[in-house]
Amino acid sequence: MSNVLEGLLNGISNNENDHGELAICVQNAYKSYGYWKRVNVLHDVNLSVPKGFIYGLLGPSGCGKTTLLRCLVGRLQLNNGQITVLGAIPGSRGHGVPGAKVGFMPQETALYKDFNISEMLHYFGRLHNMSRQGILKQESFLLGFLDLPSKTKKINQLSGGQQRRVSLACALLQQPELLILDEPTVGVDPLLREKIWSHLMFISKTNGTTIVITTHYIEEARKANRVGLMRSGRMLAEDEPIALLAKYNQSSLENVFLNLCVEDQNRVLSKLKRNSSAHEDLQHQQLEATTMTNTGAHSLAVNDQNGTGVVDRENYSASVSLDPEMIAEAALNDRTARSEGGDTDILPNGKISAEQIKPTQLVKRPILTAKRAAVDCCICPHAHKIWALMVKDLTVIKRSIGFLIFQFLIPVIQISLFCLCIGRDPQRIPVALVNDESFANYPTGNRSLLLLTKINTDYIQLHSFDDMLLATAYVEKGDYYGVMNIRKNFSQAILDKLTKFKADPATLDQSAVHLFLDMTNQQVTYVMQNSILTATQLFMKELLIQNKIDPRIADPPVIIEKPIYGDLTPRFLNFAAPGMMISIIFFLAIGLTALIFVVEKKEGLLERSWIAGIIYFLCKISTMQKWRRFYLIFFDRVRYLVLNFLSEKN
C-alpha cells in the first residue's frame, strides 16, 4: 500500500504503482474545458476496472462519459488526479496506450467515407503493424460476425448502423488488451446487439480483454461485470449490477439509477441548504431534466428509497435544478469532510481507496503525453505507421480524382494568367512630351525630332503637350506615367557638348532630356528609363557619325559581354515565373494539408488515428511529403510547357 501512495505522490507513471490486477485506475479525476470560461466536466471521479472485466459506464447525455474515455486513452489530460491504464499513465513512453494495446470506438463514426470496408480495416491493421494474413483473417471473421455487407462496399454506401458496425470492427481488429467503446450498440438491431455483447463477454473471458463501454440502453449494461453510474461529472456508484439491484431493491438498473439520482439530489440540496449558498441556473435545470428523459429514465413514478413515496416527474424536475458548480463544490466538501473524518476504505482487492488520497497530494499535471509521443517518434520512426498513412493518402487521392484535377488546374490557370497578364514587360506606356524646341508639335529641322524617332514605340507612347504644368497635372491624375521635357536650345546644346566638348552648366542642362516620372511602379519605371536611355544613346551615336566622330564615344565605359547565364535582354517573366510557381506550390500544399486536417479533425478521424498511435507530427510529415512530391513533379513539366508556349508566342 505504501508503494501505491509513494507512486501516486511522485507522479511516477510506471508499473511501480502496482495496481495489482486493475487494468484501469482513475483517482480523484478533475477535468475542465476552456481557459477563459471554464466548464467543469469531471469532479473527483474514481473508477477502477479489474483486468478482463466489462465495465459499463452509464449516465445521461453530457455527464462526462466521453470526456472520461478520452482521458483514459490519453487524448485529454486531467486538470487534477491520476489515471493509470494497463499499468502506466496513458501516453507514457513505450506504453501501447494510445497505440495497439487499445481499441477505440468513438461516438461519431470516424471513418473515411470514400474507403470501402476492406480498405478501412487494412488502414487500421497497418497502423497496428498487423500482418496481411492477420488482417485478412480478422476481416473475414468481423464481416461475418457483425453482419456486414461485401467488403468492397464503400462506407458512404452503408447505412448509419452499418457504418457504426464497421467502426466497431476497426476497434476489435487488432484484438487489443483494452477496448474502449463509446456507445457501440446505437442503431444496432436487438439480435445483433445480443451478439455483440456475447462476443464482448467471450473475449473478456477467453482473452482477458478489458472492456469499457458506454451505452444509453441502461439495461444492456446488466451484462457488464461492473457498472459505474455517472451524473453531472460525478460517479454516483460503482459496483456489480446484481449488487446494485440488491442494494436498492430494484428490478432494473434504470430504477437504481433514478434512485441514485434522487438520493444524490437530496444530499447535495441539504448540503447547499446548510451552507445557505443556493444559486439558480435555469438553463442547467432544463438540460438535466431533458437529458434524464433521454437516458431511458422514462418511468419516473417509482418507489423512492424508503419505499413509501413516489417520485413524480415534477418532483424530479425540481430536484434536478442545480448548478454544476454548486454540485461540484458540494461534492468537494463532501469528500473533504469524509477524508477529515478519517474514514479509511480498503478496496476488495486490498488497495487503498482513492478517496483516501487528497487531491493536493496528487500529481498536479500528468506528464505531457504529446511531447513524449514526439520524442518516441523521433527515436523510432514507426515505418509501418508512415506506410499506413501513405497507403491511406494514396487511396484518398485515388477516390477523389475530380478534386485532384481541380487542385492541379488552379495553379496551372494561375500561372498562365500570371505569365499572360503580369509577368510580361509593360508595353505602350503613356508618357507626356513637352518639347520646348518644337512649334506645331513636331517641326522639322531640329535635332530633338531625331531623338524622338529613336524611342521604341512598343514600349513608350508619347503624347505631345505645349504646357509643362498641364502635362504634370495629367501625370498626377494618373493618365500618364511621366513627362519628358526637352529644353528650348536642345539641338545646339547637344551639338556643342558632343562636338565642341562644352561643359558649362547651361549647355549641360539644355543638352539633357529631363524626365519627371511616376516611379511608384518599379517595373514600369525600369522600362521607361531603359527605353529613353537607349534611344538617347542611339541618337548621340548618329549625331557623332554625322559629325565624323567615332560613335563609340557615346558608349558608357562599361561593356556587357556575352552572359554566362540568361540573355542579353533579360525578361521579367523569366525571372518572376519560377518564384511565382514555387509560391503557388508551397501555399497550395499548405492549404491542402490544412484542409485535410480540418476535415479529418471534424469527422473525428484525426483523433481516432491519434488513439491508434499516430501523432499529428507524423500525419503532417506524410501529408506534406505526398503533396509536395506530387506538385513538384507535375509543375516541373507544366513550367516548361507554359514557358515554351509563351516564349514562342512572344
Ligand X SMILES: Nc1ncnc2c1ncn2[C@@H]1O[C@H](COP(=O)(O)OP(=O)(O)OP(=O)(O)O)[C@@H](O)[C@H]1O
Residue from 9, 15, 33, 546 binding ligand X (CB under 6 A): 33
Site string for ligand X, 331-370 (x = CB under 6 A): ----------------------------------------
**Residue range at the interface with ligand X (CB under 6 A); choices 21-29, 65-73, 400-408, 488-496:** 65-73
Instruction: Give yes or no for residue 39 binding ligand X (CB under 6 A).
Output: yes
C-alpha cell at 164: 457504426
- Provide φ and ψ at 85, rounded to 5°: -125, 125
**What pairing do the DSSP bridges indicate for beta strands 22-33 and 178-182?**
unpaired
Q: How far apart are CA 335 and CA 349, in angstroms?
A: 22
Long-range CB pairs of 392-397, under 8 A, 24+ apart, other chains included:
392/112, 392/123, 393/622, 393/623, 393/626, 394/626, 395/112, 395/114, 395/115, 395/119, 395/123, 396/112, 396/114, 396/596, 397/626
Instruction: Give yes or no for residue 40 binding ligand X (CB under 6 A).
Output: no
**The amino acid at 253:** L
Would you state the torsion angle of the CA atoms of residues 173, 175, 177, 182, taken in this order, to the nearest 10 degrees? Answer: 40
**Residue range at the interface with ligand X (CB under 6 A); choices 64-72, 134-142, 300-308, 451-459:** 64-72
Q: How far apart are CA 47 and CA 261, in angstroms?
A: 18
Minimum distance of ligand X from residue 107's CB (angstroms) = 5
Q: Considering beta carbons, is residue 17 or 67 the nearer one to ligand X?
A: 67
By C-alpha distance, which of 368, 358, 355 is closest to 89? 368
Q: Considering beta carbons, is residue 260 or 498 the nearer one to ligand X?
A: 260
Q: Considering beta carbons, is residue 107 or 492 the nearer one to ligand X?
A: 107
Name which of residues 413 to 452 contact ligand X (CB under 6 A): none
C-alpha cell at 641: 510547357
Q: Considering beta carbons, is residue 34 or 579 the nearer one to ligand X?
A: 34
The answer to whether residues 85 and 62 touch, using CB atoms and an 8 Å cutoff, is: no
Q: Considering beta carbons, is residue 107 or 414 the nearer one to ligand X?
A: 107
Question: Is 235 in a helix, a strand, or coil?
Answer: strand
Residue from 20, 62, 134, 551 binding ligand X (CB under 6 A): 62
The answer to whether residues 339 and 350 touch, using CB atoms and an 8 Å cutoff, is: no
Minimum distance of ligand X from residue 367's CB (angstroms) = 22
Site string for ligand X, 610-649 (x = CB under 6 A): ----------------------------------------
Minimum distance of ligand X from residue 190's CB (angstroms) = 21
Q: Which residues pair with 228 in a beta bridge?
A: 57, 238
Q: Considering beta carbons, is residue 76 or 513 the nearer one to ligand X?
A: 76
**Residue range at the interface with ligand X (CB under 6 A); choices 56-64, 111-119, 268-276, 565-573:** 56-64
Q: Considering beta carbons, is residue 52 or 106 the nearer one to ligand X?
A: 106
User: Residues with Cβ < 8 Å from 269, sequence gap 6 or more?
Assistant: 319, 322
**Residue range at the interface with ligand X (CB under 6 A); choices 60-68, 204-212, 243-251, 268-276:** 60-68
Residue from 50, 52, 56, 64 binding ligand X (CB under 6 A): 64
The answer to whether residues 44 and 78 touch, using CB atoms and an 8 Å cutoff, is: no
- DSSP secondary structure letters along 333-353: HHHHHHHHTT--PBPTTSPBP
Instruction: Give yes or no for residue 151 binding ligand X (CB under 6 A).
Output: no
Residue from 13, 17, 67, 82 binding ligand X (CB under 6 A): 67
Q: Considering beta carbons, is residue 64 or 359 the nearer one to ligand X?
A: 64
| Residues that contact ligand X, how many (by CB under 6 A) | 13
Residue from 49, 63, 73, 322 binding ligand X (CB under 6 A): 63
How would you classify residue 34: left for phi > 0, otherwise alpha for psi between -120 and 50, otherwise beta? left
Residue from 4, 41, 49, 261 binding ligand X (CB under 6 A): 41
DSSP code of residue 17: G
Instruction: Give yes or no for residue 107 binding ligand X (CB under 6 A).
Output: yes
**What pairing do the DSSP bridges indicate for beta strands 234-239 and 226-231?**
antiparallel
Residue from 51, 65, 382, 541 binding ligand X (CB under 6 A): 65
Residue from 27, 46, 66, 369 binding ligand X (CB under 6 A): 66
Q: Considering beta carbons, is residue 61 or 207 the nearer one to ligand X?
A: 61
Which parts of this chain interact with ligand X (CB under 6 A)?
A: 33-34, 39, 41, 59, 61-67, 107
